[in-house]
Structure formats: C-alpha cells, structure tokens
Amino acid sequence: MAFLKQAKAVVVHPRISGRGWGGVCKVATSGSERSLTDQARDILGGALDPDKYLITHCTIVASVDVEDVPGVKLGHVKVGSKTINRKYGDYYIKPSCSQFVNNNGDSWSRPVLRKAYQTFVGAHNFQEHVQIEEQSKGRVIDAAARDIGDSLYVDILVATDRKHASLVQDIESGKLATLSMGCTTDFTVCTKCGHYAVDETDLCDHIRYQKLNTFMDNQGQKRVIAELCGHEDYDETGGVHFIEASWVAIPAFPGAVMRNVLSPGEVSEEDVRKVLASPPTAWSEEAVLKAASHPLKAFDFGGGDDEGEGEDAPAKAAPAAPFQDIEDALYTKLKARVKERIEREIAQEAIEQAVDDSVAPMDANDSIIKEGAQRYRHSLQTLVRVASSHTALVEGIAQTNAAYGIEIPVDVYRAALDVGPYSRYQNSDHYRLACRRAAKRKFTPAEIRVVVRVGSLLSHWESNNNPISPTTPEE
C-alpha cells in the first residue's frame, strides 16, 4: 500500500499579468517545454479563458537536502530492541534544511521533487480533499521547479472553474486562504534510523511518536526527525505522484505560499521595462508604431517569447501623445517611489537597531539560545524573501516563533499586522503605541520585542517588494 501525504500553502494575494507565470518558468530550473495554451487545452478540454477560469499561482512544496550517514549498514539491522529495514544510506536531512520539512513532518529530497513535480500537471483541483471527480473544481494546468539555493520550490498553476462562484469569490476576497496538495508515495524513509516503510503499519517508532522532534547524531549535529517520501533511485518519479490540489481552510507549510492570482487587463511591468531599456535614439517610428499597436489588454499564455508580441498586429499611425502619456505616467510613479525610498532610508537606521534588539535572547531559557540566533535569523530572512503579502509574512513569523518555543498571544500578531511596517512611524515610541492601541491592552516586554520584530520585518518585506528600480524582475 502507498502512503497518502498532504502539504498546504497559505493563500495570500495579488494579481499580476498573464506573463507572470511565464516569468516564473523562465527562472525555473525545470518546466514544461510545451505551449501553455496547448497544454491547458488538452487538460481542460477547451481554451484557457480567464473569463471561465480563475488562474492561481502557488508555491506548493519545497525540498530538503539529504546526506549520507557515515558508516551506515544497509539491510535488516537491529537498532536498540527493534529490527529495521534500511534500503538507503542517505537519509539524514541537512540541518540547514530542517525549515523545509512541512508541519506534518513530511519531506521530499531535492532529486525526488525534480523527478516528480511534473506529475502535478493534469491533477484535479478539489475542495477539502474530497477526491470525487464529479466534484472537481478545476485542474492543475502547469508546474515548474525553481531552485532558490537552499531548496527546490515547486510552483503550480491552478485553473479553478468560475462556475463555482461562491468558491471563486472566497478565493479572490481572501476568505479562503489555503491551497493544499495531495500526493501518494510508495514508501517513506525515517530520517533518524533510515527505516523503509511501505504503509502505516510498517512505521518505526521514531515516525510514530517523535516526528518533528530533533536528535543529536554521532558527530554532534542536531537533526530533525521526519519522513522522506520516496527516493531518487526508486523509479522515474522517485516513487512519488502528486495527485491533486485542494482549496482548504488550515495551513500546514508556512514556507510555501500561494503567490498570485493571474488576471487579464493589466499592463505588465515587463512592458514598462522594455520602454525604459530603450535609449531615446531607439524611439524610432517603427518602435512607436509597435507600441501603439501592442495588444495591452491581451491575456496571452502562449509559449512564445514576449519580445515578439504585437509584431503581427496591423500598424497604426501613432502620434507622439500616447507615448508621452506613458512617459508622464512613469514619471509620476517613479517620483512617488523616490519619495517612499527616501522615507525608508531615513527610518532604516532605527529599523536595523530594532531588528538587532528584537532577536536578542528573551530570557535564560529562550529556545533561540538553544537553536542558535543565526538559524533563527535565517528563517526570518527566508520568510521575508518568499512571503507574498503582509498577512503571509506575519503568519510565517508566528509559526516560526512557535517552532522555536516563543509563545506569543495571537492578538499581538494581529496588532502588528494592523499597524503595518515599522518604517511608517516617526519613531519606535509611536510604533509601539500604535500596536498597543490596536491590541487595546498593554504588552509584556517579550510581546514588545515581537511586535518590533514583526514591524521591522514588514518594513524589509515592503522595501524588497516596492523597488524603485524599473528593472526589478517581475514575479
């Protein structure tokens, strides 16, 4: 029998142009070579019409890196009073990758995800994992694997049929905030003892009773206990098959977040960057004609290069005024961003000091001391990099704190989220006062450190996601 595994991603937010998914695929280490238009038509049985489908991009699952266990013995071996079956010797998860184990204690090695991620394509989109085909809400129409260095992230593109109006409305409004994947795995491997299990009855005691705990290996390294799904040497998919993506209510993997709802009718920043990248001498009559005839309202999921879009459109005589309008709009937008950047830089020194203060040990028993401040900082930096909204970032901080034993009431996080980035306030006193007013109570010293930490990280996130440079890559 195979295991059924699930990992969930927090749905967060925004809208980008249809080229956004193409941008993801361009930076991905692996992806489909087919035209998305053709691929979606085969899966959906018709055209990928944005008026018929809500198109959602989600970073759904992440990999861990594993390493060989020194001097390990394979086969049936005795560990303590138990006999285990050990088929593979590379089952230790590298300590730096522990954060990519999901909250169910399941994990996928980088080579396995690289082999298996394409099985997402064509899978059904359900609600709450009710896997009845007649109740399917849509399909997964594409998948891509992005190597971010620390991990391999798998992104999926989900088409949810708009005939499920209530569901779509909940997704678009943010009321329904989680997308969850389901997969089967032919076997799992314990990351502490290496036991190979083919079903629930075959699990070792570590997986039964100690998942997500840590242990010290023979070299003194602290490692996490988890289930590794499949193995790269098993078959062409590593023994893992992703079978569905469901809209669900409760998140389980804070590191993976739904990133965007793709929608038509937007002029992408890619178009803006192309204009700015051209020197004035390149603003030839031909260039102006192409800009004037460019189908700005198109929702194009074709597999071709963006550079060629609009070339076959009928040429129209274009006066200088439309192009001047673009330049004026850009000037206004950039001027506003310059103002925001100056304000952020004025507050930056205070922010950095707040971050330093906020990650200081809270007391002599603080679990950050045990885990190491550097690792904790790295976890927060990763959240700032991958979160797609203030909500997703704050939820990730709360879950990270909980994982490190920092227990803080929910209303503290809610207050920090309501108040927003630290950099929006004149000084730390104003910021803390706003947080206390939002919570309608006084904070303890530990709670004050947490709200300052959250506000500082929100400032860094906002700085990263509101760049002044028009050449910043589009998500």
In this predicted model, what pLDDT tens digit does every residue of 321-333 receive, in sequence order? 444 555 566 666 6
Given a cut of 90, whether residue 11 has pLDDT beyond it is no
How would residue 310 be classed by pLDDT, with cut points 50, 70 and 90?
very low
Give the residue from 369, 372, 400, 367 showing the smallest Cα distance to 386: 400
Q: What are phi and psi of 275, to 5 degrees?
A: -65, -45
User: What is the pLDDT, as a whole number, of residue 281?
Assistant: 33
pLDDT tens for 43-92 read 999 988 888 998 888 888 899 999 999 999 999 999 888 899 999 999 99
**CA–CA dist 91, 38 (Å, integer):** 40
Residue 118: CB atoms within 10 A of its CB come to 18
User: What is the pLDDT, as a whole number, of residue 2?
Assistant: 67
User: What is the pLDDT, as a whole number, of residue 106?
Assistant: 92
pLDDT tens for 215-269 read 999 999 999 999 999 999 999 999 999 999 888 875 444 443 444 555 444 434 4
The two three-digit tokens of residue 429, written as one number = 């006193």
Alpha-carbon distance values, 230 to 189, 236, 242, 255, 394 (Å): 7, 11, 12, 21, 33
Give the residue from 343, 298, 300 showing the smallest Cα distance to 468: 343
Based on the number of CB atoms within 10 Å of its own CB, is 229 exposed (0-12), middle (13-18) or buried (19 or more)? buried
Based on the number of CB atoms within 10 Å of its own CB, is 161 exposed (0-12), middle (13-18) or buried (19 or more)? middle
How would residue 340 be classed by pLDDT, with cut points 50, 70 and 90?
low
Given a cut of 70, whether residue 9 has pLDDT beyond it is no
Alpha-carbon distance values, 163 to 37, 119, 136, 159, 169 (Å): 21, 26, 11, 12, 11
Rg (CA), the chain: 25
Alpha-carbon distance values, 18 to 146, 152, 294, 333, 437 (Å): 19, 23, 15, 22, 41
Give the residue from 291, 296, 297, 298 showing the smallest Cα distance to 276: 291
Mean pLDDT of 28-48: 81
**CA–CA dist 95, 173 (Å, integer):** 38
How would residue 378 be classed by pLDDT, with cut points 50, 70 and 90?
confident
Q: What angle do CA 156, 306, 120 make, to 5 degrees?
A: 15
Name residues whose C-beta falls within 8 Å of residue 381's C-beta, 6 or more positions apart in sequence.
none
Residue 23 · residue 268 · CB < 8 Å:
no
pLDDT higher for 241 or 7?
241
User: What is the pLDDT, as a whole number, of residue 304?
Assistant: 37
User: What is the pLDDT, as a whole number, of residue 306?
Assistant: 37
**CA–CA dist 255, 146 (Å, integer):** 14
Choose the weakest-confidence range: 42-46, 146-150, 170-174, 198-202. 170-174
User: What is the pLDDT, as a whole number, of residue 365?
Assistant: 40
Q: In whole numbers, what is the pLDDT of the chain averaged over residues? A: 74
The two three-digit tokens of residue 211, written as one number = 């998942």
Question: What percentage of the chain reaches a pLDDT higher than 90?
Answer: 29
How are the residues of the chain apportioned to helix, strand and coil, as percentages rounded to the nearest 5? Answer: 40, 20, 35
Given a cut of 50, whether residue 410 has pLDDT beyond it is yes
Given a cut of 50, whether residue 203 has pLDDT beyond it is yes
Choose the weakest-confidence range: 67-81, 91-105, 153-167, 333-347. 333-347
Mean pLDDT of 128-144: 87
User: What is the pLDDT, as a whole number, of residue 337?
Assistant: 65
Given a cut of 80, whether residue 119 has pLDDT beyond it is yes
